Structure 1
C-alpha cells in the first residue's frame, strides 16, 4: 500500500462518494423485496452477498416467487448482467499484468457507477498502483453500502410501512446511474428501445418481455453505433 495506491484510493473515493449514497435506497428495497418473495433472512443475505447485482436480483425474484424453471432464472440473470461483459472488456487494459486474484476480485466488485465514473481515468493512467487504488477503494465503498442497505432491508422488511412506496426510490437510484450513461447517441437509442420493448412485450409468458426488451435494446444500440461510425467516415 504505497503512496501511489493511497493517492488513487483517495481520488477514487472522492469521485464515487456522491453516487454511492444512491445505492442505499436501492439496496434497502432489494432487501425488502427478497423477504417479500419468501426468502428467509439468511437466504436473502446470502443472495445479496453472492449475486451482488441489484438488477439481476430484482429481475429474478418474480420468477423465483412464481416457481419458474431454474434455467429461466439463470438465463434471465445472465441477460440482465450482459452489460458487465462489455464493461469488463473495456476495463481489461487497465488490469494488464495484474494477478489473477486481483482480476477476479475486480470482476466481482464491478458495478455500473464505478464503470461510468472511473473508466476513462483508469485507462489513461500508466501507474498500476494508482489504478488499483483508484478502482478497489470506491468499489469496496459501493460493496459496503450495498451490503449495509441490504441488511437494513432484510431485517426491517416487516417494519417499513407499505405506503412509503420504497420501489420509487429504486427507480430514482437507477435513473441517477442511467443519465451519465446515455450521453452517447447509441446508448440513448439502446435505452429507449429496450425500455419501450420491455413495456410493450410485458404480456409474454414467463416474463420473457424483459429479456426480449434487452435484446431489442442491444440490437438498436449496435445499429445506432454502426450508423454513427458510417456518418463520421463520410464526413
Structure 2
C-alpha cells in the first residue's frame, strides 16, 4: 500500500506543475539581472542561494547598482517579502507538530506558487505524513528548478539575445501566481491599490516607490477588510 507521504508528494507535484512553467523565464531573468549589475558568477550564485526570493532579488538589484545605502536595500527586500509573514502564519497549523529543523527548512523553501495552490488542501488534511509530502515535494522541485535556470541565466547572460523580452514573460509569470490568491474583495483592493501606488510613486528618490506601493496596498487591504466586516455586522 502506498505511503501517505508518497501520495501527498505526488498530488503536490501534480497541482504545482502547471504554474511551474512560469519559473523558467523568471529565474533566467534574475540570473541575467544579477550579472548585468556587475556581480560575478560566484556572487550571483551565492545571492541566489542565500536570498532565494526572486521578487526581493530583482527589487534589490537596482539599489545595489545605484550604490544605495545598505539599510534601504534591506528595507526594500523585507518589504517585498512581507507577504511571506502572512503566508507562514496562515499555514503554521500544518507544522505545529513538526521538529524545529523541519519547520526551518519549510520556511526557507516557502514560495508563492506552493502556497497559492496548496494552502487550502494542507489546512484541510489530517494526516501529517501526507501534509509533509504534499508540501515538501513541490517546494524542493521549485528550489531545484529555480537554482538550475538562474544558473543558466548567470552563465549565459553574455550570450542571451536582448530582443527576447524575458522581462515581459516574468510579468506574466507573476500575474499567473498572484491571480489565484485574489479570491476576496480585500485582497483584490490590496493588489490594485499596491500596483497603482507603485506606478504613481515610481518617481520617489532612492527607488522608494515600490516600498511606498506595498504600504499603500497593505493599508488598502486592511481598510477594505474592516469595511467588509463592519458591513456584515450591520
**Counterparts of 1:141 and 1:21, CA distance in 2:** 12
Counterpart check, 1:103 vs 2:103: yes
TM norm structure 1: 0.97
CA drift of 1:21 comes to 1.6
Structure 2 match to 1:70: 70
CA contact (8 A) 1:21 1:145 kept: no
Structure 2 match to 1:184: 184
**Counterparts of 1:188 and 1:113, CA distance in 2:** 18
Structure 2 match to 1:93: 93
Structure 1 match to 2:9: 9
User: After the TM superposition, which parts of structure 1 deviate over 3 Å for at least 4 consecutive aligned residues?
Assistant: none
Give unpaired runs (5+ residues) of structure 2.
Answer: none
TM norm structure 2: 0.98
How many residues in Structure 1 have an aligned counterpart in Structure 2? Answer: 233
**Structure 1 residues 152-194: Cα deviation after superposition (integer angstroms, max 9, x where no partner):** 1001101111111211111111111011111211111111111
1:129 match: secondary structure: helix
Give unpaired runs (5+ residues) of structure 1.
Answer: none
CA drift of 1:28 comes to 0.4
Give me the CA root mean square deviation: 0.9
Counterpart check, 1:128 vs 2:121: no
What is the correspondence of 1:12-31 to structure 2 with a 5 Å cutoff?
Answer: 12-31=12-31
CA contact (8 A) 1:95 1:103 kept: yes
1:30 match: secondary structure: helix
Structure 2 match to 1:51: 51
**Counterparts of 2:32 and 2:138, CA distance in 1:** 25
1:158 match: secondary structure: helix
Structure 2 match to 1:41: 41
1:39 match: secondary structure: coil
CA drift of 1:233 comes to 2.2
**Structure 1 residues 123-179: Cα deviation after superposition (integer angstroms, max 9, x where no partner):** 111111110000000101111111111011001101111111211111111111011
**Counterparts of 1:22 and 1:163, CA distance in 2:** 19
